[in-house]
Amino acid sequence: APAAVPEFPHILVTRQDIQTPVNSSLPNVTIFATGGTIASQGSTNLQTVGYQIGLGVQELVDAVPEILNVSNIAGYQVSNVGSGSINETISLTLAHMINDELAKDEIAGVIITHGTDTLEETAFFMESTVNSSKPVICVGAMRPATALSADGPLNLLQAVTLAASPAGRNRGTMITLNDRIGSAFYTTKNNANTLDTFFSTEAGQLGVFINQVPYFFFAPAEPVGRIKFDVSEFKSLAQVDIIYAHQDMNPALFNASIESGADGIVIAGVGAGGTSSKAALAAEQVYNATGIPFISSHRSSDGFVPNREDSWSIGSGFYNPQKARILLQLALTAGYSEDEIREAFAASYPMP
């Protein structure tokens, strides 16, 4: 059985708790802490796998007092889990709390500390659901806080610096790690272990930190085709499963997914959205019997799957499977028709 997600009462650590008196000349940044390696400790300074999560907001900030030279910090402990355990409750809670927080005049920006494994999913969820010109910065670490050359403290300082900076405005949600600034729309995790794991696909990096100052290569821009959802009334999300294609794929998986309640299915296809002919036939039969939407994406870490108008499946365009899943969850929960879902995916690559 999957590990239960501990319920947090969203404990608040106030600006006064972190530093008294608060420096009123600095911008205010709020941290939403969710867990992950950045909040973890190993038993020795050489341990970089198999460590334990447990540090809270106060301990994250204590490790980098320099943060208090660039902003006043308050923090919410929203959860303290590995990012594989982030679920719809946590995602919706973050979206609701962050929309409320950024609506306050005195807040410059927010950051989310998060495990890196699924950080791109939460970042894309925020990109799709937060309505504010202020920065939302998602940050994690690849080494636990106790490791030699732990990366969390500098990553946290960079994230807070960007959240406090006017340069971070009108750029949506961003992912910062290892000196790089990437867009939530295009950044993906590429390596399970290395510090330079985040990679911004063909769309490129937005910028870098030099001496911890954010430098952007481009003026603020929006990803083509990004859709904003108003989730203020959402209490839960549609169930969308991802099914991974491979040689001689089991065609029974689609029915198994439907029987367990899926409202939509994303296929992480071989190449540009492919499956075996047996699996494709099974998927088409399930589609004809149930009408639930199928999205064809790719298992390669980057790429594009075109839409096929008359097909049983919708091409994911530039969305990788995990982001396609979130877009489909939001679209289904918002009541999109199949045609509207098709248009939502196609919007990221408008034809000239």
Ligand X SMILES: NC(=O)C[C@H](N)C(=O)O
| Active-site annotation, residues | 37, 116
**Minimum CB distance to ligand X smaller for 199 or for 216:** 199
Q: What is the sign, positive or negative, of the torsion defined by CA atoms of 259, 262, 268, 269?
A: positive
- Closest distance to ligand X from the beta carbon of 168 (Å): 22
Task: Retrieve residue 227's tokens.
Answer: 């859709």
- Closest distance to ligand X from the beta carbon of 124 (Å): 15
Closest CA to 138 of 182, 171, 191: 182
- Closest distance to ligand X from the beta carbon of 114 (Å): 7
- Which residues, including other chains, have CB under 8 Å from residue 139's CB and lie 6 or more apart? 38, 111, 112, 113, 114, 155, 156, 158, 159, 175, 176, 177
Cα–Cα dist 297/331, whole Å: 17
Closest CA to 114 of 38, 29, 9, 186: 38
**149: region left, alpha or beta (phi > 0 left; psi from -120 to 50 alpha):** left
**Minimum CB distance to ligand X smaller for 82 or for 135:** 82
Consult the annotation and say whether 116 binds a ligand.
yes
Element of type H or E holding 159: helix 152-164
**Minimum CB distance to ligand X smaller for 71 or for 116:** 116
Residues 159 and 209 sit within 8 Å (Cβ to Cβ): no
- Closest distance to ligand X from the beta carbon of 116 (Å): 4
**Minimum CB distance to ligand X smaller for 48 or for 161:** 48
**Minimum CB distance to ligand X smaller for 122 or for 333:** 122
Extended beta strands in the chain, E state: 11-13, 28-33, 40-41, 52-53, 72-77, 107-113, 136-139, 173-177, 180-183, 188-189, 198-199, 207-210, 213-216, 240-244, 264-269, 294-298, 313-315
Task: Retrieve residue 271's tokens.
Answer: 């190449």
Residues 313 and 297 sit within 8 Å (Cβ to Cβ): no
Q: Which residues bind ligand X (CB under 6 A)?
A: 36-37, 82-83, 115-117, 140, 142
3-state secondary structure at position 115: coil
Task: Retrieve residue 269's tokens.
Answer: 């296809």
CA 203-314-342 angle, 5° bins: 85
Consult the annotation and say whether 133 binds a ligand.
no
The residue number whose beta carbon is nearest to ligand X equals 115
Consult the annotation and say whether 122 binds a ligand.
no
- Closest distance to ligand X from the beta carbon of 53 (Å): 7
- Closest distance to ligand X from the beta carbon of 301 (Å): 17
Phi, psi torsion values for 84, nearest 5 degrees: -65, -20
**Minimum CB distance to ligand X smaller for 115 or for 135:** 115
Q: Which residues are annotated as a binding site for substrate?
A: 83, 116-117
